[in-house]
A and B are shown apart, each in its own frame.
Chain A
Amino acid sequence: MSNSQEMVPSEKWPNGFIRIYRGLTTINFVSRTKIYFAVSVIVIIAGICSIALRGLNLGIDFKGGTAWEVIATSTTTAEVTRAVEAAGVSQPSVFILGGSTVHVEADLNALTGTDLTRVENAVADALAKIANKSGNQVSVSTVGPTWGGAVTNRALIALLVFFVAVVIYISGRFEPKMAISAFVAMVHDLLITIGIYSIFGFQVTPDTVIALLTILGYSLYDTVVVFDRVRDNTKGILNNGSMSYSEMINLSMNQTLARSINTSLVAILPVLSVLFVGAELLGATTLREYGLALFVGLMAGAYSSLFIASPLLAILKEREPRMIDLRNRLAAKGARTVMSARSAAELAGGGGSSQDASSSKATITAKARKQKRR
């Protein structure tokens, strides 16, 4: 084997990017499970501590309150705060987005009926004066204290139903152990996103809840693509007998790595655009709320598809007696533990393995071992 190493032309082994591009990576996803799980557990525990100590920064939609928005060029936060306080509201929170969108929030839950309307109109008029517009050109949204609760409850019900439906769907289309792994990955994304929201004090709104649900869908979508390949590769694994289940998962993940990275990129790029172009540059408040949650969640989702769902599946499957059997058989045979993507493509593709392809299998395997030692 050491001889064949020297036979490899050097340009066949370019940098990491090309290896990912060609699906030739040999990252061992499965064996470093403990590190990946530890990273997630630490982030999740930090998040839970933060929620316990600081709670979540809930927006007016959950607590109830009133928000005003107007486009005013050349005004300052201080000027707006003074005007709003003069209109009879204490402690308003004022921020200016995109240079001209003035956004004011205040808790007016103590007021009801006509009193509420009077104060709301007074603030709207004060803001209109600053912006040099009429009172009707100020956007006002009032949220009763129970509305956010209603939205959240419905979202939670949707979430539970979604979880159940997904577990049934994956159990049916793939297998129950994959359903469990995908489910754990989704809960992981949920916990990480909520934790990060608490740690950084980002405001939680119903829009955040919507975005969170999408993230789960997306993370799952990502996981399903990897599992689809795993299912493909492990068809007849017991008869074929050249690789253990973990190795097959590892191989599948390396094969789909380019796709996983590309998918995450094409999902995250538009979301970044929502955050920076839509919210910061052009000042759309709602877009910021969606964008932030989607961004945090997609990152967590990309991580969990690679480092949580599949390794967990490996752990679950390796406990099956027939898989233990297979592993022992392979160990007795002294089989290699690393296999190249190329050779596996032949395996998975079934047949078509020409003479020169099988010789390159050995080559790449040896090379991969060398890489690993470094």
Chain B
Amino acid sequence: MASGPASKRSLIIALCATLLLSFGSLTLTLVLGWAPKLGLDLAGGLSVVYKPTTQASKADMLQVVQILSNRVNGLGVSGASVNLQGTDVVVSVPGATNAREILASIGQTAQLLFRPVLCKTTTAAKLEPFTGASLPPCGPQYSMAASNLGVSPNPQSGAGYTINPVQPDPSFSTFPSTPSSADLASKAVLLPATGNTGERYILGPAQMTGTSLKNAIAQQDQAGAWIVSYNLTSAGSALWDQVAYANFHGLVAIELDGVVQSAPIIQPGETAPKSFGGSGQISGSFTESSAKNLAIAMQFGSLPVRLEPLTTQTVSPTLGHSALVAGLGAGLAGLLIVLLYTIIYYRALGLVIVLGLGVSAASLFAIISALGKTALAPSFDLAGVTGLIVSIGITVDSFIVYFERLKDETRAGRTMRSSVDRGFKSAWRTVLAADLVSLLAAGLLYLIAVGAVRGFAFFLGLSTLLDIIVTWYFTRPLVTLLGRRSSDSSSNFSMAAGIGAEVKHV
């Protein structure tokens, strides 16, 4: 940078420009009514991180983001965002007050699988962990194969057909349901029926998936019960006929995200398999909303991969607000203690630190508020608050490094006037070396880490960068100007007193 002592004029210009820029932008921010975009933990809201349970391509994940965005926006909430971070999808809805409902509708992965029913079971009060590699076969008398059910059309009976009663297989009742990570299309699974009835199904490998569906709609049948009607794609139509043929007079379960929505008997009213002709109906114990949700999921929302929530966080706005108060309270209290300490230690020079922190704080508020208007910066959360509180130490330290150098210089017998220039030269190199290490740490953390770490790193890095700027454009001109004016005052509050210097008379 500049060699030799800078002219008084350029110092004054630098100082005024810094003060004007920082406090001017603060005023502008306040006038515009801008404020930092608060993160979830401060504003309240909802955030979920989903991970695909199986290997997924980048294209698949981009499609997932698109579909989830549609779903979230379809709920009519504002400010929501869906992002891809690595292979994880991060959904955040700040300020959400009905988190539970939102979670229920975006959470469903809507992966539809059609599986043959092998047998049924109940749920025992106490579940034993299941360690086997695959499920054992159903007991012969409990099998729900067509041969065991003996379905025969009978227009006289209420249901239009008769069926042998087949009991649930008790040997499965203590097994836990298959977790979503093991719920693979190619494997036999044990899954609960919808509605927490305790009824569960042992199902064979999937024979068809939701991709064979063209569209679906929720409607009421003649009796007023809610059903879901669907049309199949041309390829799907042939496949479905094959499935129906293979399971004729047996049960095919329709699985949505690990829950059996319905397990209808295939064509119980017919004596021989008959083509569906590209359309069908799912009936069951649907309510209006569950039928509509299923239809929407089938039509729009079938995700290319199954998602599993890695972490879900809902923060109530009241709790968020109290965390904001706590964070600000801690920050202000910390700031006050530090300022008090520096004023006691450095006297008049302590006031330079106070003003310097003021410049930093004003610029930070303006920058963070402005960044909040863009999508560039992570939102300001508690981790960010902590990053800023830590940076108080780093900012004040730059002053300390300089002032301690000043002490050395004056003690070596130099005048205050020459000390401020020489002291700054060496302090500047130290501050630069040390701040670059901090920036290095912040930058790497921001690039590599996930979650709250990024916010923390961002705000730490931002304030460190600002520290370098403040040291050059604020501390240097101000202290240099003060030093040139400084006379050997015996006052307790002179600049010389601040660094304990025995200044020589000149």
Contact = CB atoms under 8 A, between A and B. Distances in A.
A36 to B, nearest CB: 23
B389 interface: yes
Contacts of A136: 97-100, 314, 316
Interface string A107-132: 00010111101100100100000000
B412 A357 contact: yes
Contacts of A273: 330-331, 333-334, 337, 389
B409 interface: yes
B483 interface: no
A271 B429 contact: no
A213 B445 contact: yes
A277 interface: yes
Given A274-B389, A282-B325, A141 B411 contact: no
A69 interface: yes
A270 B444 contact: no
A34 B103 CA distance: 59
Contact of A69 (B104, B319, B445): B319
Interface string B318-344: 110011011101110111011001100
A154 B86 CA distance: 11
Contacts of B426: 232
Nearest to B381: A286
A211 to B, nearest CB: 8
Given A214-B390, A214-B460, A143 B311 contact: yes
Given A112-B177, A166-B440, A229-B430, A22 B319 contact: no
Contacts of B331: 270, 273
Contacts of B435: 221
Nearest to A284: B326
Interface size, B (range): 35 or more
A319 to B, nearest CB: 25
B192 interface: yes
B313 interface: yes
Given A151-B453, A166-B437, A146 B310 contact: yes
A296 to B, nearest CB: 14
Contacts of A173: 433
A21 B382 CA distance: 36
Nearest to B405: A259
Nearest to B409: A349
Given A277-B333, A287-B386, A70 B394 contact: no
B288 interface: no
B404 A147 contact: no
B450 A266 contact: no
B93 to A, nearest CB: 13
A258 B406 CA distance: 13
B373 to A, nearest CB: 26
A23 B180 contact: no
A147 B412 contact: no
Given A266-B400, A357-B412, A274 B449 contact: no
A278 B329 contact: yes
B33 to A, nearest CB: 26
Which of A144, A162, A210, A277 is most buried by chain B, counting CB atoms within 10 A of its CB? A210
A136 B445 CA distance: 34
Interface residues of A, number: 99
A225 B430 contact: yes
A71 interface: yes
A167 B308 CA distance: 39
Which of B192, B310, B315 counts the most A-chain CB atoms under 10 A from its CB?
B310
Contact of A345 (B97, B322, B408, B452): B408
A259 B404 contact: yes
A17 to B, nearest CB: 10
Nearest to A142: B312
A256 to B, nearest CB: 7
Interface string A21-61: 11100000000000000000000000000000000000001
Contacts of B308: 144
Given A141-B312, A274-B389, A286-B383, A169 B451 contact: no
Contact of A158 (B400, B413, B445): B445
B392 interface: yes
A281 B310 contact: no
Contacts of B444: 158, 161-162, 165
A137 interface: yes
Contact of B411 (A61, A154, A287, A345): A345
Contacts of B500: 21-22
Contacts of B258: 112-113
B120 interface: no
Q: Decide if the interface of chain A is mainly helix, strand, loop or mixed.
A: helix
Contact of B196 (A118, A140, A213, A262): A118
B312 A262 contact: no
Contacts of A291: 386
Given A21-B500, A214-B390, A162 B411 contact: no
Contacts of B104: 117
Interface string A205-223: 0110111011011101110
B137 interface: no
A265 interface: yes
B138 interface: no
Interface string B32-74: 0000000001000000010100000000000000000000000
A283 B393 contact: no
A315 interface: no
Interface string B430-467: 10011111101110110011111100100010000000
Contacts of B327: 278, 284, 287
Contacts of B170: none
Contact of B450 (A150, A287, A294): A150
Given A284-B326, A286-B323, A342-B411, A274 B334 contact: yes
Contact of B382 (A121, A165, A286): A286
B278 interface: no
A267 interface: yes
Contacts of B407: 22-23, 258
Given A262-B400, A283-B326, A286-B41, A271 B334 contact: yes
Contact of A290 (B333, B383, B413, B422): B383
Interface in A221-262: 221-222, 224-225, 228-229, 232, 255-256, 258-259, 262
B414 interface: yes
A277 B315 CA distance: 21
A228 B49 CA distance: 44
A87 B29 CA distance: 48
Interface string B291-319: 00000000000000000111111111111
Contact of A271 (B98, B323, B389, B451): B389
A352 B504 CA distance: 13
A169 to B, nearest CB: 6
Contacts of A140: 99, 312-314
12 contacts: A151-B451, A162-B441, A207-B452, A216-B441, A221-B394, A221-B438, A259-B404, A272-B334, A273-B333, A284-B382, A349-B412, A352-B413
- In the A-B complex, the 6 residue pairs with the smallest Cβ-Cβ separation, listed nearest first, are A270-B334, A278-B330, A282-B326, A217-B441, A267-B393, A273-B334
Interface of A: 21-23, 61, 69-71, 98, 101, 110, 112-115, 117-118, 121, 124, 133, 135-144, 146-147, 150-151, 154-155, 157-158, 161-162, 165-166, 169, 173, 206-207, 209-211, 213-214, 216-218, 220-222, 224-225, 228-229, 232, 255-256, 258-259, 262-263, 265-274, 277-279, 281-284, 286-287, 290-291, 294, 341-342, 345-346, 348-349, 352-354, 357
Given A110-B176, A151-B450, A286-B383, 17 more contacts: A139-B319, A141-B311, A154-B453, A161-B444, A173-B433, A210-B383, A214-B390, A229-B430, A270-B393, A273-B330, A273-B334, A286-B323, A287-B323, A287-B327, A287-B382, A352-B412, A353-B413
